Amino acid sequence: MSTDTLLVELGTEELPPKALKSLGLAFRDGIVRGLQERQLGLGEVQWFATPRRLAVLIAEVQLQAPDQSVETLGPPLDSARDKAGNWTPAAIGFARKQGVEPDQLQSIDTPKGNRLGMRSTVKGATTSASLNDIIQGSIQQLPIPKRMRWGAGRVEFVRPVHWVVAMLGSEYRHGDILGLATGNTTRGHRFLSQGDIVLQRPEDYPAALAAANVVAGFEQRKQQIREQVEAQARAIGATAVIDDNLLDEVTGLVEWPVALTGSFEQRFLEVPAEALVSSMKEHQKYFHLVDGEGNLKPNFITVSNIESRDPTQVIAGNERVIRPRLSDAAFFFETDKKTRLDQRVEKLASVVFQQQLGTLLDKTHRVMKLAAGLADRMGAAPAPAERAALLSKTDLLTEMVLEFADMQGIAGYYYALHDGEAADVAAAIAQQYWPKFAGDRLPENPTACALGLADRLDTLVGIFGIGQPPTGSKDPFALRRASLAVLRIIVEQQLALDLRDCLELAAARYPAGVIADGTTDKVLDYMIERFRAWYEEESIPVEVFRAVSARKLSRPLDIQRRVHAVHAFTALPEAAALAAANKRVSNILDKLEASHQFGEVIASLLVEPQEKELAAQLKSLSEIAGGYLEKDEYSAALACLAGLRAPVDAFFDDVMVNAEDAALRHNRLNLLKDLRDLFLQVADISLLVVGK
């Protein structure tokens, strides 16, 4: 099959920088998917994305897909004709649907018998004829939340489109895309190039754009920016802090990156570094610099989209722009420090937390008592946790946080230190929001842990309590993230907290009638279920989690230890047989009448050698395992119980559980119950699917 190179490019006005990478990847995937759906083979795929273009370059695209043999099945052959040999209505209708006469149909052998049918050959798709549909399909599937129109037309896209390139080899006439005829003409840098660029072959695309001052490859441009920024930092003996999200955004802002270093006055370093970084990063898209000890330096690196003949003018312009922003931060910092945090508490009454759950002041009072209670259960001092909770939301009323939203908590930390609050109280105010995302750092001291847990548990109980739990698409109070944060703090900080107790403590802080009955059970089930995704990320099979969750436990740290113990148990050679045996035992016991009364195993009723051996092993190993279980050493307990495999196998091979003698039968059922109960002290291993 002959092949050729394919190039597709959409030339636009400046695309949204934060979305550029996802748009470029989605456009690539759409084109590739369109070819694959038509069985058109392809070679190496390259994608390009700049502020003014999305493009895909694919080598060795098959020009025509192979022909396909198609079998269309109709009615069974024995019902295709009547007794007189005439075609039945079913056969006639099937033939008419295929556009042929019944005599042209064939007998086709199938696993379900001979069927009337039709064999035909479908011509393989051609790339040239399919290209317009492939491009249109990819455009329609782009992740664009809101499309715009421009001019007098009804064409819609994320930004106005000014040119479209669609080249298959040297052929470029492939119909209209987004209201424009496809061609072989692209454009270079908006300011550093002149005129259109006529492409002779798709392969010319990257070099032609590079000659026109456009680094078309997103990843290539991103790497250039990283290298330039690092080189600029080294030149002044500093280290550039390169945030990946900011790097992607800057890559989406420029086509020809030129990194330049600017500076600001030393006096601004008296302002909290986080505020300065926020201003440089969020508003100006600058990379900040630190010294060898991690302290902020009075410098920044900006990435220009032009190669100026006088870079000092560009640098001076950026310095003029950043100075007012830093001055604002300094002014807010000095102004806020004039009012103590504890003097702002009562003003929280003017801020609604949630209409049915009251104001931020109401929430503060609830969280104060809850944080103190949690600290006490953690073996920490309640007073610092209560004090931190009192001050925890006051920085939301400061000028600094009103201007820089991501300073909440951080601003409170600096103001608390300025007010003379204890170090752990100040730290807790900043760390109450940790972790903010998956993999983020955790609160570092007991006071911060108590506050972080209390704040989230209060929200969870409150929102569930008024009947507004998260749905599949809506979670306005970020309850999923809050649940995972609570679990992480408890598990990773090794806190022996009972989640049910914590939730009941949170619910008790609400006035009577606000929280619906049964709320704590609903929240507990919801939170424990968050463990499922947690363990999926650790590649722990879901049935391992189910085996533990079947115990209806509520101590997250205990659940974590059990899950890992059961996961380790599944790797033992005895696991499969014992899991199967426990499942068999469960099936036997579950079929008994609810009124069935279990009792102790009576030694004198053990008549078969195999049941005597099983009873002896159960007694011996339960004592050993019990010692491990008292210390929550679940892995050691299960490893010990793995020794039951041989006697359990022998019992089921040679002993009749449902003996005719009622006393023997009852005694054997008691023996099996003891076996199941022993394993249930860790998990319900009958739910495991080992060695599947």
- CA–CA dist 577, 649 (Å, integer): 8
Written as six digits, the tokens of 217 are 């490859």
Q: Cβ(642)–Cβ(566) under 8 Å?
A: no
197 forms bridges with which residues in the sheet?
A: 186
- CA–CA dist 29, 17 (Å, integer): 19
- CA–CA dist 250, 370 (Å, integer): 44
73 forms bridges with which residues in the sheet?
A: 117
Alpha-carbon distances, residue 661 vs 167, 606, 654, 655, 657 (angstroms): 86, 12, 16, 13, 10
pLDDT for 111? 86
Task: Label the pairing between strands 185-187 and 53-62.
Answer: unpaired
Q: Which of 503, 507, 456 is nearest to 477 (CA)?
A: 456
- CA–CA dist 369, 506 (Å, integer): 9
The SS3 assignment for 10 reads: strand
Written as six digits, the tokens of 31 are 């084109």
Question: Where do we find the tokens 């279980």?
Answer: 629
Q: Dihedral sign for Cα 175, 180, 181, 186, please.
A: negative
Rounded to the nearest angstrom, the gap between the alpha carbon of residue 63 and the centroid of all alpha carbons in its chain is 39
DSSP H helices, 164-284, are 205-211, 218-235, 244-251, 273-278
Q: Could you report the average pLDDT of every consecutive run of 10 residues in the chain (692 residues)?
A: 93 96 97 95 97 97 89 86 88 88 87 86 89 96 91 90 96 94 96 94 97 97 98 97 96 97 96 94 93 96 94 95 93 96 97 96 98 97 98 97 93 97 97 93 96 98 95 89 96 96 96 94 95 91 94 95 94 89 87 82 90 91 90 92 90 88 90 91 88 54
Domains in the chain, ordered, with CATH? Answer: 3-65+126-211 (3.30.70.260), 68-122 (no CATH), 218-336 (no CATH), 342-539 (1.10.3210), 568-687 (1.10.730.10)
- CA–CA dist 415, 388 (Å, integer): 12
- CA–CA dist 429, 384 (Å, integer): 11
CA atoms within 13 A on the CB side of 168: 20
Question: CA geometry: angle at 115 spanning 112 and 120, to 5°?
Answer: 120
Alpha-carbon distances, residue 72 vs 94, 113, 657 (angstroms): 10, 15, 56
Q: Which of 142, 163, 107, 122 is nearest to 33 (CA)?
A: 142
Q: Dihedral sign for Cα 33, 39, 45, 48, please.
A: negative
* pTM of the full structure: 0.80
Residue 122: is it exposed, middle or buried by C-beta count within 10 angstroms (0-12/13-18/19+)?
exposed
pLDDT for 690? 67
The 3-class SS string of 452-501 reads: HHHHHHHHHHHHHHCCCCCCCCCCCCCHHHHHHHHHHHHHHCCCCCCHHH
Q: Which of 109, 403, 154 is nearest to 282 (CA)?
A: 403
How does DSSP assign 219-245, residue by residue?
Answer: HHHHHHHHHHHHHHHHHTT-EE---HH
Residue 649: is it exposed, middle or buried by C-beta count within 10 angstroms (0-12/13-18/19+)?
middle
- CA–CA dist 2, 674 (Å, integer): 72
DSSP state of 57: E
How does DSSP assign 548-601, residue by residue?
Answer: HHTT----HHHHHHHHHHHHHHTTSTTHHHHHHHHHHHHHHHHTS-TTPPP-PP
CA atoms within 13 A on the CB side of 568: 16
Hey, what amino acid is at 295?
N
Report residue 379: phi and psi, to 5°: 80, 20
Question: Where do we find the tokens 């990773």?
Answer: 492
CB burial string 347-385: b at 16+ within 10 A, e below: ebeeeebbeebbbbbbbbbbbbbbbbbbbebbebebebb
Q: What confidence tens digit (pLDDT) does each residue in 496-505 have?
A: 999 999 999 9
Written as six digits, the tokens of 264 are 């600001």
pLDDT for 691? 59
Query: Is the backbone peptide bond immediately before 143 cis, with ω within 30 degrees of 0?
Result: no
- CA–CA dist 675, 659 (Å, integer): 19
pLDDT for 106? 86
- CA–CA dist 115, 370 (Å, integer): 72
CB burial string 431-445: b at 16+ within 10 A, e below: bbbbbeeeeeebbeb
